[in-house]
Amino acid sequence: MYPLPFLFEIYLDSLYTMRDYAIVIINLVEVLEMRKTKVLFSLVTAMLLGAAFGLSALGLDLELKGGGGLAMGTTDDPNKSGQVRWALDAGLTLDLFLLRLGSISLGVSGGAGYANLNYHSVDKGITIPAPTIQTSDSSFNYLIVPFTLVGKFDIGARRSLTARAGGFAGYFLFGTSDLTYNPEVPPFFVNGEVTLNNSNTVQWMYGLSFYAGLDFWGNGRLSFTPSVEFNMGLTDTSINAAQPTPSKDTFWALTANVGIRYRLLQ
């Protein structure tokens, strides 16, 4: 028979495992409840695939990528300042090519991806109910849906350069913000972690998206594709309460990625 302490440890481990599973299930439910996002992505995919077969497309490429880089934000509040932090991203993209001019193929692109943006800021403009300086380290998680024009340029034997330019929509999933006040003003401003949700963060953000990738094609339909991507938000991401000072806050992210591209049609 097993000793009681050993059985108690197994029992605790099972509780922690159940807790982790519950957290995962809750996050999945939140994602599944985003009906607008699911409909939006389904429409983009259907449009691209329908156009590919209905318009006798010249090519259809599928790219899976992931990487990381830098993230920061902008604000119109002169009392706020920020510092660069890190970003992570991953995504699946369909490039539909409809026109060919010499060595250049042109078309449209769409897909879906995930972005984790981290941001450090200092707000010196808080004066009510008492003066204080707020320092925050925040992490935002988004579902990103890009809509862009795409061009592919042949630059040699089994090599090409793919470029995209257009816009994106971002749906806020979840996040946290670690707040520090100097000085603390209980019960109004207390140090600690705050959950970011639809009460303090705008659910949708929109912006511009730019991408450049170098495709190294093998003998078949598969290529290895390192790339860089820049996404610049144009809309406010924060819901302004009485504190901190109301402002328009946006994000940008510059990331380096590694991807695999597959030619569905050629």
Q: Which tens digits make up the pLDDT trace of 116-137? A: 999 999 999 888 888 999 999 9
Q: Which domain holds residue 157?
A: 34-265
pLDDT, mean of residues 142-170: 95
Tokens of 204: 């949708």
Distance in angstroms (rounded) separating the CA atoms of residues 48 and 173: 26
Of the two residues 81 and 36, the one the predictor is more confident about is 81
- The per-residue pLDDT for 40 is 59
CATH code at position 245: 2.40.160.20
Average the pLDDT over each of 9-23, 26-40, 73-87 and give the range with the smallest value.
9-23
Look at residue 18 and tell me if it is in a domain: no
* pLDDT grade for 25, boundaries at 50, 70 and 90: very low
Q: Which of 70-74, 166-170, 247-251, 262-266 has the highest mean pLDDT?
A: 166-170
Is 229 in a helix, a strand, or coil?
strand
Residues with Cβ within 8 Å of 167's Cβ and at least 6 positions away in sequence, in order, are 146, 147, 148, 206, 207, 208, 209
- The per-residue pLDDT for 15 is 42
Look at residue 8 and tell me if it is in a domain: no
Domains held by the chain: number: 1
- The per-residue pLDDT for 24 is 41
Look at residue 19 and tell me if it is in a domain: no
Average the pLDDT over each of 7-21, 158-172, 181-195, 229-243 and give the range with the smallest value.
7-21
Q: Are 151 and 104 in contact (CB under 8 A)?
A: yes
Look at residue 125 and tell me if it is in a domain: yes
Tokens of 106: 């042109």
Tokens of 12: 């605790």
Planar angle of CA 170, 172, 173, nearest 5 degrees: 130
Look at residue 251 and tell me if it is in a domain: yes
* pLDDT grade for 204, boundaries at 50, 70 and 90: very high
Q: Within 10 A of 13 (CB to CB), how many other CB atoms are there?
A: 10
Percentage above 70 pLDDT, the chain = 76
Of the two residues 83 and 46, the one the predictor is more confident about is 83
Query: Identity (one letter) of the amino acid at 15?
Result: L
Look at residue 198 and tell me if it is in a domain: yes
* pLDDT grade for 22, boundaries at 50, 70 and 90: very low
- pLDDT 10s digits, 216-252: 998 788 999 999 999 999 999 988 655 545 688 999 9
Is 212 in a helix, a strand, or coil?
strand
Distance in angstroms (rounded) separating the CA atoms of residues 240 and 65: 35
- The per-residue pLDDT for 169 is 97
Look at residue 28 and tell me if it is in a domain: no
Distance in angstroms (rounded) separating the CA atoms of residues 155 and 157: 7
Is 58 in a helix, a strand, or coil?
coil
Q: Is the peptide bond before 186 cis (omega within 30 degrees of 0)?
A: no
Contacts 24+ apart (CB under 8 A), 152-155: 152/59, 152/61, 152/95, 152/97, 152/104, 152/105, 152/215, 153/103, 153/104, 154/103, 154/104, 155/103
Look at residue 69 and tell me if it is in a domain: yes
Q: Which of 215, 99, 208, 63 is nearest to 147 (CA)?
A: 208
